[in-house]
Amino acid sequence: MNQLMTNDNAQPRHGSAIRRLFLMALLLVPALAVSMPASAREVTFSAELKPYYGDGAYLALYVTDDKGQYQGTLWVAGGKSKYYRHLRQWARGSNLSRSEYDGLTGASVQSGRTLNVTVDLADKLFDGGYQVRIDSAVEDLRDAPSDVVVPLTRDGAGTPVSGRGYVKSLRYDFK
Protein backbone atom coordinates (compact mmCIF):
# COMPACT_ATOMS: atom_id res chain seq x y z
CA MET A 1 0.00 0.00 0.00
CA ASN A 2 2.94 2.28 -0.50
CA GLN A 3 2.64 5.14 -2.84
CA LEU A 4 5.05 7.79 -3.91
CA MET A 5 4.06 11.28 -4.74
CA THR A 6 5.70 14.55 -5.36
CA ASN A 7 4.73 18.12 -5.88
CA ASP A 8 6.34 20.39 -8.38
CA ASN A 9 5.18 23.65 -7.01
CA ALA A 10 5.49 25.20 -3.60
CA GLN A 11 3.03 27.89 -4.57
CA PRO A 12 -0.57 27.08 -3.53
CA ARG A 13 -2.83 27.68 -6.43
CA HIS A 14 -6.63 27.56 -6.29
CA GLY A 15 -6.57 25.49 -3.18
CA SER A 16 -4.36 22.86 -4.70
CA ALA A 17 -0.91 22.76 -3.14
CA ILE A 18 -0.17 19.27 -4.37
CA ARG A 19 0.41 17.96 -7.82
CA ARG A 20 0.74 14.42 -8.85
CA LEU A 21 3.66 14.34 -11.16
CA PHE A 22 6.55 11.97 -11.77
CA LEU A 23 4.39 9.48 -9.99
CA MET A 24 5.12 6.45 -12.08
CA ALA A 25 8.67 7.51 -12.73
CA LEU A 26 9.42 7.69 -9.04
CA LEU A 27 7.80 4.35 -8.43
CA LEU A 28 9.83 2.62 -11.05
CA VAL A 29 13.11 4.46 -10.93
CA PRO A 30 13.96 5.64 -7.43
CA ALA A 31 17.15 7.23 -8.79
CA LEU A 32 15.01 9.92 -10.33
CA ALA A 33 14.24 11.15 -6.83
CA VAL A 34 17.53 12.97 -7.01
CA SER A 35 16.09 15.28 -9.63
CA MET A 36 13.14 16.15 -7.39
CA PRO A 37 12.76 19.82 -6.40
CA ALA A 38 14.82 20.60 -3.36
CA SER A 39 11.81 22.19 -1.68
CA ALA A 40 9.99 18.84 -1.22
CA ARG A 41 10.48 16.02 1.28
CA GLU A 42 9.40 12.42 1.47
CA VAL A 43 6.84 11.74 4.22
CA THR A 44 5.28 8.46 5.34
CA PHE A 45 1.82 8.54 6.93
CA SER A 46 0.79 5.57 9.09
CA ALA A 47 -2.85 5.27 10.03
CA GLU A 48 -3.58 2.40 12.42
CA LEU A 49 -7.22 1.33 12.72
CA LYS A 50 -8.99 0.33 15.92
CA PRO A 51 -10.40 -3.15 16.14
CA TYR A 52 -14.10 -2.94 15.16
CA TYR A 53 -16.62 -5.47 13.88
CA GLY A 54 -17.34 -4.84 10.25
CA ASP A 55 -16.08 -4.83 6.67
CA GLY A 56 -12.96 -2.98 5.52
CA ALA A 57 -12.96 0.76 6.20
CA TYR A 58 -13.00 3.37 3.46
CA LEU A 59 -10.46 6.09 4.24
CA ALA A 60 -9.62 9.41 2.58
CA LEU A 61 -6.26 10.96 3.52
CA TYR A 62 -6.15 14.60 2.44
CA VAL A 63 -4.63 17.99 3.15
CA THR A 64 -6.60 21.02 4.38
CA ASP A 65 -5.67 24.49 5.50
CA ASP A 66 -6.06 25.54 9.10
CA LYS A 67 -9.76 26.28 8.55
CA GLY A 68 -10.37 22.82 7.25
CA GLN A 69 -10.57 23.92 3.60
CA TYR A 70 -9.66 21.07 1.27
CA GLN A 71 -6.32 21.43 -0.49
CA GLY A 72 -5.59 18.07 -2.09
CA THR A 73 -5.90 14.31 -1.85
CA LEU A 74 -3.08 12.05 -0.69
CA TRP A 75 -4.79 8.67 -0.79
CA VAL A 76 -8.23 7.02 -0.88
CA ALA A 77 -8.62 3.48 0.48
CA GLY A 78 -11.69 1.68 -0.84
CA GLY A 79 -12.49 0.32 -4.28
CA LYS A 80 -16.06 1.40 -5.01
CA SER A 81 -16.34 5.09 -5.85
CA LYS A 82 -20.09 4.99 -5.28
CA TYR A 83 -19.42 4.79 -1.54
CA TYR A 84 -17.03 7.77 -1.52
CA ARG A 85 -19.84 10.11 -0.58
CA HIS A 86 -19.64 8.67 2.93
CA LEU A 87 -16.18 10.27 3.28
CA ARG A 88 -18.09 13.46 3.54
CA GLN A 89 -15.66 16.28 4.34
CA TRP A 90 -13.27 15.03 1.72
CA ALA A 91 -16.12 14.43 -0.73
CA ARG A 92 -17.27 18.00 -0.30
CA GLY A 93 -13.79 19.43 -0.65
CA SER A 94 -12.80 17.37 -3.66
CA ASN A 95 -16.31 17.55 -5.07
CA LEU A 96 -15.68 13.87 -5.84
CA SER A 97 -14.16 14.83 -9.13
CA ARG A 98 -12.21 11.96 -10.55
CA SER A 99 -9.14 14.02 -11.34
CA GLU A 100 -8.68 14.64 -7.61
CA TYR A 101 -8.13 10.99 -6.75
CA ASP A 102 -7.25 9.30 -10.03
CA GLY A 103 -4.36 6.94 -9.46
CA LEU A 104 -4.48 7.50 -5.72
CA THR A 105 -6.81 4.70 -4.70
CA GLY A 106 -6.32 1.28 -3.18
CA ALA A 107 -8.09 -1.42 -1.22
CA SER A 108 -10.12 -0.69 1.90
CA VAL A 109 -8.37 -1.25 5.22
CA GLN A 110 -9.47 -4.06 7.53
CA SER A 111 -10.14 -3.67 11.23
CA GLY A 112 -6.92 -3.31 13.28
CA ARG A 113 -4.67 -2.96 10.22
CA THR A 114 -2.35 -0.07 9.40
CA LEU A 115 -2.35 1.97 6.20
CA ASN A 116 1.06 3.32 5.16
CA VAL A 117 1.23 6.03 2.50
CA THR A 118 4.50 7.60 1.36
CA VAL A 119 4.30 10.92 -0.49
CA ASP A 120 6.51 13.84 -1.34
CA LEU A 121 5.18 17.00 0.23
CA ALA A 122 6.32 20.56 -0.37
CA ASP A 123 8.46 21.92 2.43
CA LYS A 124 6.24 24.90 2.54
CA LEU A 125 3.32 22.80 3.80
CA PHE A 126 5.10 22.23 7.09
CA ASP A 127 4.63 24.89 9.76
CA GLY A 128 2.42 26.66 7.21
CA GLY A 129 -0.86 26.08 9.03
CA TYR A 130 -1.76 23.02 6.96
CA GLN A 131 -3.38 19.85 8.30
CA VAL A 132 -3.70 16.26 7.18
CA ARG A 133 -7.10 14.68 7.85
CA ILE A 134 -8.69 11.28 7.46
CA ASP A 135 -12.40 10.79 6.78
CA SER A 136 -13.52 7.22 7.38
CA ALA A 137 -16.62 5.11 6.86
CA VAL A 138 -17.60 1.44 7.20
CA GLU A 139 -20.57 -0.26 5.60
CA ASP A 140 -23.66 -0.36 7.82
CA LEU A 141 -21.80 1.58 10.51
CA ARG A 142 -21.47 5.31 11.12
CA ASP A 143 -19.49 7.73 8.95
CA ALA A 144 -16.63 9.55 10.64
CA PRO A 145 -15.74 12.78 8.84
CA SER A 146 -12.51 14.33 10.15
CA ASP A 147 -11.90 11.11 12.05
CA VAL A 148 -8.40 12.38 12.82
CA VAL A 149 -6.76 15.77 12.23
CA VAL A 150 -2.96 16.21 12.33
CA PRO A 151 -1.28 19.63 11.93
CA LEU A 152 1.72 19.46 9.61
CA THR A 153 4.77 20.71 11.54
CA ARG A 154 8.41 19.76 11.42
CA ASP A 155 8.40 18.98 15.14
CA GLY A 156 5.21 16.95 14.98
CA ALA A 157 6.82 14.13 13.02
CA GLY A 158 6.82 10.82 14.84
CA THR A 159 4.05 11.82 17.27
CA PRO A 160 0.85 9.75 16.93
CA VAL A 161 -2.49 11.59 17.13
CA SER A 162 -5.65 9.73 18.23
CA GLY A 163 -8.74 9.58 16.04
CA ARG A 164 -12.35 9.73 17.17
CA GLY A 165 -13.78 7.20 14.72
CA TYR A 166 -12.15 4.09 13.26
CA VAL A 167 -8.61 5.52 13.31
CA LYS A 168 -6.71 4.60 16.43
CA SER A 169 -3.82 6.89 15.57
CA LEU A 170 -2.22 8.74 12.69
CA ARG A 171 1.47 9.69 12.58
CA TYR A 172 3.89 10.84 9.95
CA ASP A 173 7.63 10.37 9.64
CA PHE A 174 10.25 11.96 7.44
CA LYS A 175 12.58 9.73 5.59
Rounded distance between C-alpha atoms, residue 165 and residue 25, angstroms: 35
Site string for another protein, 35-54 (x = CB under 8 A): ------------------xx
Give the nearest distance from C-beta 56 to another protein in angstroms: 9
Cα–Cα distance, 175 to 173 (Å, whole number): 6
Q: How far is the CB of 147 from another protein (least distance, A)?
A: 9
Give every strand in the sheet of 161-162, ordered side by side. Answer: 114-122, 40-49, 167-174, 161-162
Q: How far is the CB of 123 from another protein (least distance, A)?
A: 27
**Is residue 13 within the footprint of another protein (CB under 8 A)?**
no
CA distance 161 to 35: 33
Contacts with another protein, residue ranges (CB under 8 A): 53-55, 67-69, 82, 85, 88-89, 91-92, 95-96, 140-146, 164-165
